Amino acid sequence: MRNVFDQYAQNENRLTHALACTLVEDPRLLRGFVRWATGTDAPQRRLYVTEQTFPGEPEPAEGEAEKLGIPDAWIYTDNGWTLLIETKVQADLRREQLMRHVATAKRRGFLNPRLLALTAKRETLVSKYGVITRRWDELYRWLAKQRVRSDWARKLMTFLEVSERKFVASEYLWEGALTVFSGIPFSADEPYSYLEAKRLLRLMTDELRKRRRLVRTLSMDPKGAGRGAITGSQGTSVWDFLPLKISGRLDRFTNAPHLTISIQQARLSVAVIIPNALAGSMRRQLASLDFESFRELMRVVTSNLAKVANARNGAQPCVEVLQRHYPALRASPIVDARLEFDPRTAFPSRGRIKHQPEWLRAAHAAFSKRRANTQLMIGMLFPYGPGKTSSRPEIIDDIEEVWLGCKPLIDAMLKRK
């Protein structure tokens, strides 16, 4: 069924229409919105909202508003107070257009018009000219605080989520965001969706790039490219990575260890990947370790990962050895062998996990005596479900701790102390 907000062809117009409808339907939310946008209260008079037209005039055809110098929306009173709204997603804000909107409002009798620019990107240009700039993701955060009292706030949040999912899928939204990460909702009641997973993955990696501890401790490159365009609309998992700053010439991310996130159907996988094509010096540094030295290294990493696991997140440390081959250059890989185990099995304990060191020994042998396309993964698996940390924004903190816990492994490959 078509969404009640979905009445326009152009993306910015759809978002403006959704915002305008929400504010018209909830006068209390409307006044709160003005306070959020401007920092001051609106006059204690009736507030009117109109979009894509001049106040008191019929709406022109879609696409004509910009030619006529009409702001995307107006909030106004009958005594000359107004807040103009201009919305953008990927297009840049233009000073000339914004100043034209203000001049238009003054000609129509609004003495001191204010202008709010809503954009998906971080804008700096127009702040010099007295324009109020806010981002869609900031609006989303504000709506999240209002949703307990306002059904319309919840409806607009949902529409922003759906719109972002569509924009990401069509590669229309390549910079900025409409929402913020609020957890992975997948469960028995809300089945896995590939398109939703792509949206969430993008928000998660954006948040993790801001983590200064990852930059300082692991030399994560916050500006380094992750995967290219993640295409497709179906699948059982979607993944991306954050690169590390590593000295020397590396042709691709597959030549170096990298920090990965994979949103899968039943779980979230967070790991450090040691790829098959790992640069020779790093591979030799790790492969030269005898089993006892490798075991001691993994004991430290496993101890770090075990500290992240708790009843709230239900997380499990994980090691995976994966052997694959590719039938053609651009074909999907075929898995020849997969060994996945909890590394706590390698160390005696009084807990319920039984001591079985052969799994770690097999992983060491497969990596150090590699004869095929083989990668090694060390990290954590987080299950989905109501009440689990994966369903809340705090999962970002756990992801950061997993990667930091793998620091001894990264240091060993890069000869760091």
Same domain, 402 and 299: yes
- DSSP track, 114-174: EEEEEESS---GGGGGT-EEEEHHHHHHHHHHHTTT-HHHHHHHHHHHHHHHHHHHTT---
Same domain, 136 and 88: yes
Domain annotation covers residue 3:
no
Final residue of a domain: which of 159, 189, 213?
Answer: 159
Final residue of a domain: which of 94, 127, 159?
Answer: 159
Same domain, 130 and 57: yes
Domain annotation covers residue 173:
no
Same domain, 95 and 220: no
Are residues 172 and 364 in contact, defined by beta-carbon separation less than 8 angstroms? no
Same domain, 104 and 226: no
Same domain, 220 and 368: yes
CA distance 405 to 408: 8
Final residue of a domain: which of 159, 192, 218?
Answer: 159
Averaged pLDDT, 176-204: 92
Reference 64, options 75, 74, 72; nearest CA is 72
Same domain, 323 and 217: yes
Same domain, 71 and 213: no
Q: Where are the alpha helices (DSSP H) in 258-386?
A: 280-287, 291-308, 358-368
User: Quick one: pLDDT at residue 172?
Assistant: 75
Band of residue 2 on the pLDDT scale cut at 50, 70, 90: very low
State the residue range of the domain holding 265: 181-414
User: Quick one: pLDDT at residue 124?
Assistant: 57
Identify the CATH number of the domain in which residue 186 sits: 3.30.930
Domain annotation covers residue 6:
no
Band of residue 56 on the pLDDT scale cut at 50, 70, 90: confident
Same domain, 45 and 188: no
User: Quick one: pLDDT at residue 30?
Assistant: 97
Domain annotation covers residue 5:
no
**pLDDT score of 357 more than 50:** yes
Domain annotation covers residue 168:
no
Least confident piece of the model among 214-218, 371-375, 378-382: 371-375
Domain annotation covers residue 172:
no
CA distance 168 to 199: 6
Residue range 7-53, pLDDT digits in tens: 555 778 889 999 999 999 999 999 999 999 999 999 999 999 998 88
Same domain, 192 and 54: no
Same domain, 186 and 316: yes
- Counted domains in the chain: 2
Domain annotation covers residue 366:
yes
**pLDDT score of 126 more than 70:** no
Domain annotation covers residue 153:
yes
Same domain, 15 and 49: yes
Least confident piece of the model among 100-109, 186-195, 242-251, 332-341: 242-251
User: Quick one: pLDDT at residue 349?
Assistant: 87
Beta carbons within 10 angstroms of residue 223's beta carbon: 7
User: Quick one: pLDDT at residue 50?
Assistant: 92
